[in-house]
Amino acid sequence: MTITDTPVNNGVNVAALLGARDALTAAPEAAQFTWRASCTWRNGTHSHSTVDGFTGLGAEQKHRTTYEYDVDHPECFASEDNGATPVEYVLVGLAGCLTAGVAAVAQLREIQLRSVTATIEGGMNILGILGADPDVRNGFEDVTVRFAIDADASREEIEALIAQSQKRSAVYDIVTNPTKVLVDLA
Amino acid sequence: MTITDTPVNNGVNVAALLGARDALTAAPEAAQFTWRASCTWRNGTHSHSTVDGFTGLGAEQKHRTTYEYDVDHPECFASEDNGATPVEYVLVGLAGCLTAGVAAVAQLREIQLRSVTATIEGGMNILGILGADPDVRNGFEDVTVRFAIDADASREEIEALIAQSQKRSAVYDIVTNPTKVLVDLA
């Protein structure tokens, strides 16, 4: 145990998360979540999506407010650039997931964070999405996430935070492993 | 060929896309893109990301404006719900990608769209991210996307639009197939 004058506070309620883990292990049906979004086509490649609720803990849950997102292709694709591209949304999700994980693990390990930034890049050969080369995939060829972290910890401890965040990250799993997607017409 | 009084217009510049396909097939180095986002940790599980530019067509490209996104966990995870969750960002990206594809393919096939909506859901057992059950994955168990499309076309033709959009979708590929992700510390 470490005795400190100022307790570590990264703003993550670790006691609640550990309590949830125990409670959901005992009542696993409440651990089944369904996340949702609704998308409406505007014009061209521009769409507008809303995120307002989800199902989990055995009930319907509401976000504090409805989140709204415009998605589009950029002007160099002959589109109007009314929002970030679909693949940039995936990068935002992945960076946010790993960053939340770093904060949660740091709290659990009693490491005070001062700043965390991440730059994320996804390489893509657009001959794939253009249908110009059947050997080129549509998605990212690879993704790199580079963290810069200022914290009361050694470099080794900070690297271990990042590693544990990856291990428990939903979006890292979604990007690195296959998921079945069913697309149909109502 | 179909002769119509009012030409089909879904707002997608198909001529430019076909031109780009020819031009990039002849100059494949310009087809190499790098998409980016920058993420800054705020507090707890809350982060703020910006998307403002990318590399492609052999040059540095700028979005019309800087897009900004707050990512957080919800109140039922003992967080402050300052934005959609990371996994909801992935759903927004996937819905937007498939919807843009439907519009582009409809334009190419001279099908006039009147409306397109999609509801997207991802099932997740949160015993995975909580580290409570090693047999449960962190990410989505499965994703379903249900389109409702009003267009001047048969149901069969509309189903074919959706199928072709899936075939060329970057985010559909990212979610359904594995991508290598490297995470490191600067």
Q: What mean pLDDT value characterizes chain B?
A: 95
> Does A53 reach chain B within 8 Å, measured CB to CB?
no
Position B5 scores a pLDDT of: 58
- Chain B residues in contact with A33 (beta carbon < 8 A): 123-126
Predicted-complex ipTM score: 0.96
Position B80 scores a pLDDT of: 97
Q: Which of B184, B182, B79, B70 is nearest to A149 (CA)?
A: B184
The H-or-E segment that residue B15 falls in is helix B14-26
Given A71, A128, A170, which is nearest B92 (Cβ)? A71
Given A94, A116, A142, which is nearest B180 (Cβ)? A142
> Does B27 reach chain A within 8 Å, measured CB to CB?
no
- Chain A residues in contact with B121 (beta carbon < 8 A): 34-36
Check CB contact under 8 Å for A10 and B43: yes
State how far the alpha carbon of A113 is from the alpha carbons of A56, A148, B102, B177, in Å: 30, 11, 44, 34
Q: How far is B34 from chain A (nearest CA, A)?
A: 4
> Does B23 reach chain A within 8 Å, measured CB to CB?
no
Measured distance CA(A137)–CA(A132) in Å, rounded? 11
Pairing of strands A180-185, B32-43: unpaired
Q: How far is B150 from chain A (nearest CA, A)?
A: 11
DSSP A112-136: -EEEEEEEEEEEEETTTTTTS-TTS
Position B9 scores a pLDDT of: 95
Q: How far is A1 from chain B (nearest CA, A)?
A: 23
pLDDT of B1 over the 60 cut? no
- Chain B residues in contact with A108 (beta carbon < 8 A): none
Position B3 scores a pLDDT of: 53
Check CB contact under 8 Å for A90 and B86: no
pLDDT of B6 over the 90 cut? no
- Chain A residues in contact with B109 (beta carbon < 8 A): none
Q: Is the pTM of this model over 0.90?
A: yes
Q: How far is A3 from chain B (nearest CA, A)?
A: 22
DSSP B88-130: HHHHHHHHHHHHHHHHHHHHHTT--EEEEEEEEEEEEETTTTT
Measured distance CA(B140)–CA(B123) in Å, rounded? 5
| Strands (DSSP E) found in A126-171 | 142-151
Q: Which amino acid is at A70?
A: D
Specify whether the CB–CB gap between A90 and B35 falls below 8 A: no
Flag the least confident range among A20-24, A50-54, A150-154, B122-126: A20-24
Position A3 scores a pLDDT of: 54
Check CB contact under 8 Å for A185 and B146: yes
- Chain A residues in contact with B43 (beta carbon < 8 A): 10-11, 103
pLDDT of B69 over the 80 cut? yes
Q: How far is A60 from chain B (nearest CA, A)?
A: 11
> Does B74 reach chain A within 8 Å, measured CB to CB?
yes
Measured distance CA(B18)–CA(B6) in Å, rounded? 22
Measured distance CA(A85)–CA(A91) in Å, rounded? 10
Check CB contact under 8 Å for A24 and B130: yes
- Chain A residues in contact with B83 (beta carbon < 8 A): 67, 96
Q: What share of chain A has pLDDT > 90, as a percent?
A: 94
Measured distance CA(B161)–CA(B168) in Å, rounded? 11
CA dihedral B40, A32, A20, A165 (to 10 degrees): -30
Check CB contact under 8 Å for B131 and A21: yes
Pairing of strands B59-71, A180-185: unpaired
> Does A51 reach chain B within 8 Å, measured CB to CB?
yes
Rounded to an integer, the average pLDDT of A40-68 is 97
Position A2 scores a pLDDT of: 53
Q: What share of chain B is helix, strand, coil (3-state, %, to 5)?
A: 35, 35, 30
Position A109 scores a pLDDT of: 97
Check CB contact under 8 Å for B39 and A119: yes
- Chain B residues in contact with A27 (beta carbon < 8 A): none
Q: What share of chain B has pLDDT > 70, as a percent?
A: 97
Check CB contact under 8 Å for B17 and A78: yes
Position B85 scores a pLDDT of: 98
Band of residue A4 on the pLDDT scale cut at 50, 70, 90? low
